[in-house]
Structure 1
Amino acid sequence: MKKKLFTKKNGRNNVGRITVRHRGGGVKRKYKKVDFKRTKNIYCVIKKILYDPNRNCKIFNVCYSNGLKNNIISIQSLKIGDKIIKKDDAENLTGNCKLIKNIPIGIKICCIEIIQNKGAKISRASGCFSKIISKGEKYSIIKTNSGNTIKINNLCYAVLGVIMIKVDKNNKKSGNFRLKGIRPTVRGVAMNPIDHPHGGGEGKTSTGRHPVSPWGKKTKGLKTKTTKRRG
C-alpha cells in the first residue's frame, strides 16, 4: 500500500487564485499516521524519535508489549527506551495517558481530548501544554497555552507532560527556504509600474508616495479596525 502524500495548495484557494503570495514548490511530503487515541491500554516502549514534515514537533515510534507498533506525539524529557502507558489511573509520570478526573490540579498536560474516545485535539503543537485549574463532579476547567479556559468532561483522556520543542536548523542559504515551499519576495521598487505602485522610473528611485501594498493600501500606520457595527 502506497503512503499518502500531503497535497499542497501553493497559496491558492478553491478557485485556483493566489490568495497567499510567495508559496510554491518544496519537497514532497509523505503523511505519517499518528495515533492520537492511544488505542492500546498496555505498556509501550519508545523505539525511535522520528521527523514529521507536516508537524512542528517530532513523533515517537513506539512498540507495544504485544508487538504492535505505532506513532505518537513526542513528549519532552522522554528518551528512547522509556516505558509509557494509557490507563484510567496510571501513575503521574511524564508521557502516561490517563483520565482528567485522576490528574491532580496544576500538573502540565497535553494531547487533550474534547469528546470522549475521539482522540487528542488540544495542545498538540511544539512546546504546548495546558493546566487543570479547577474540578467539578462531571467537568474540569482547563487553561490552555493561549490563556483561554475550556470546560472538558472528566472522562476524557490527557497526556502528562509538555510537547517536545522542535529545534529548527539555521537557514544558511535560500535553497533551504525553497525546499520548505517558500518562494522569493521581490521589492516593489524593483518591479514595473503595472506590477506595483512603487515600480517604474529610471534607475533607483524613491517611491514618491506613502508606502503602499501592491493593491494600493497604506502599509505604515493605517488603522484597519472598523468601529461601525454590522447588522
Structure 2
Amino acid sequence: MLQRFARSSGLQRLCSGLLGSQDTVAQKSTSVVLPSCQGQGLTCLADWWVGFLHLRHNSTNAGLKVYKPTTPGLRGRIVTTREDLWAGRPYRPLTMGLRKSGGRNNQGRTTVWHRGGGSKRLYRFIDFSRRHEGEVGTVERLEYDPNRTARIALVKYPEGSAAGVKNGFTYVLAPQGVKPGDSITSGPTSAIHPGNTLPLSAMPIGQQIHNVELRPGKGGQMARSAGTSATLIARGADGYATVRLPSGEQRRVLAACRATVGALSNPQHKNRKLGKAGAARWSGRRPTTRGMAMNPVDHPHGGGRGKRKGRISQTPWGKPTKGYKTRKSRNPTDVFIHLSRHAAKKAR
C-alpha cells in the first residue's frame, strides 16, 4: 500500500505544492530557502520535511513558548522562552535571601492588599550605577531574575576593579542584542554599543537608552523593565538633556547623568498569558474580591438588587478611582517635566 501511495498522482501533486510553496516563500524573503526535491514520491517528501525541520530549528526565536492544551490550565498559557538563558543557579556572592512581608509594614498593618505567598526568591544585587571607568567587562552568561521582568547578565571584570564587584563579577541589566562573550564598558569615551554606559552629554540625539539616572552617581532609576527604552530627544546649553520616557513624558535630566545604550531584553513579556489562577499565586498575588460582590458595610459598591453600583467607582475608603488626580499640585519635580504623559497622549 505504501508503494502504491508513493506512485500515486496525489503524492506527486503534494510534492508539486511543496515546491510551489518554496517559490512563494523565497519571493517573500531572500533569507529563507527551503530544500529542493531531488527524488520522486516519498523521497521528495522526506527531503522537503528534513529541510523544513532544519529551517524551523535554526529560525529566529519569537521569544514566546506556547503550551500544548493537555490540561485546562495549559490551554491558554503563553510564557516567555528561556532557551538562551543560564539553566543553573545564580552567582551566590551576589545574592541574598528575601523575606516576604505579605503586604504588611513594620507595624504589622496591611498597606498593600492582595499580596502573600508565592515562590521563594533570591535577590540578585544589580549594578545600576556602572561606575567602572575605562574597564572592559566580559558578559559570561544571561540569567533569569524572578525579581524583575528584564533579563540580567553576569559580567566579569579584571582583577582589582572598583567597589561593588564580588570576586570580579557583577550583575547588570541585559539589553537586547547582548550575548555571552560580548564586551561592555562605561565612561564618556565608550562606543555607542548596546550595553555600554555613557553620560547623556556624550550620546547622540535620538539614541535609545535605558537605566537612566535622575541624579549623577545615584544609579539608574528610569526605564528598567522588560523591553522598554527611553529616547534622548534634546540637549541644551543649560546642562540639561530632555529624555522621552516610555509613558510619553518628556523629562529634563542633568546631562551628567548616565544611561545605558539600547533597549532592554525580554520584549515579549507584555504578550505572555498566565493561563490559570495558580500562576498568579506563584508570583505572590492573592485573589481580589470585587466591591460589587460585598455587602454595603464592607464597600461603597456593595449591596443593592442585582448588579448595581449606584455611584462612581470608588475605593473601599470612598476615594474615586477613575480620573481622580492623586499627584500633589505643587510637586517639587514639576519643574523637570517638560511635557506630561497626559499632554503627550492628547497630542498623539
Give the TM-score range, shorter chain.
0.7 to 0.9
* Structure 1, unpaired ranges of 5+: 200-204
Structure with higher helix content: 2
**Higher RCO (CA 8 Å, separation ≥ 6 residues):** 1
Q: What SS is found at the alignment partner of 1:4?
A: strand
Shift of 1:20: 4.1
Identity value in percent: 32
Write the distance in 2 (CA, Å) between the matches of 1:101 and 1:214: 45
TM norm structure 2: 0.53
Shift of 1:206: 3.8
Write the distance in 2 (CA, Å) between the matches of 1:76 and 1:198: 51
Match of 1:171 in 2: 274
Letter of the structure 2 residue corresponding to residue 8 of structure 1: K
The yes-or-no answer on 1:94 pairing with 2:197 is no
Q: Is the 8 A contact 2:292 2:309 kept in 1?
A: no
Shift of 1:148: 2.2
Match of 2:54 in 1: none
Match of 1:39 in 2: 131
The yes-or-no answer on 1:84 pairing with 2:215 is no
Letter of the structure 2 residue corresponding to residue 91 of structure 1: A
> What CA RMSD, in Å, does the superposition of the two structures yield over aligned residues?
3.5
CA displacement 1:67-107 (0-9 Å, x = unmatched): 71110011012122221111212111121111211111111
Match of 1:62 in 2: 155
Match of 2:287 in 1: 184
Shift of 1:170: 4.0
Match of 1:128 in 2: 228
The yes-or-no answer on 1:152 pairing with 2:276 is no
Match of 2:101 in 1: 9
TM norm structure 1: 0.76
Q: Is the 8 A contact 2:126 2:170 kept in 1?
A: yes
Q: Is the 8 A contact 2:298 2:316 kept in 1?
A: no
Which of 142, 148, 166 is the matching residue for 2:243? 142
CA displacement 1:192-216 (0-9 Å, x = unmatched): 89767449xxxxx845774888959
Write the distance in 2 (CA, Å) between the matches of 1:72 and 1:193: 50
Computing the radius of gyration over CA atoms, which structure comes out larger, 1 or 2?
2
Q: What SS is found at the alignment partner of 2:96?
A: coil
Which of 182, 207, 211 is the matching residue for 1:107? 207
Shift of 1:158: 1.5
Q: Is the 8 A contact 1:58 1:166 kept in 2?
A: no
Shift of 1:187: 6.1
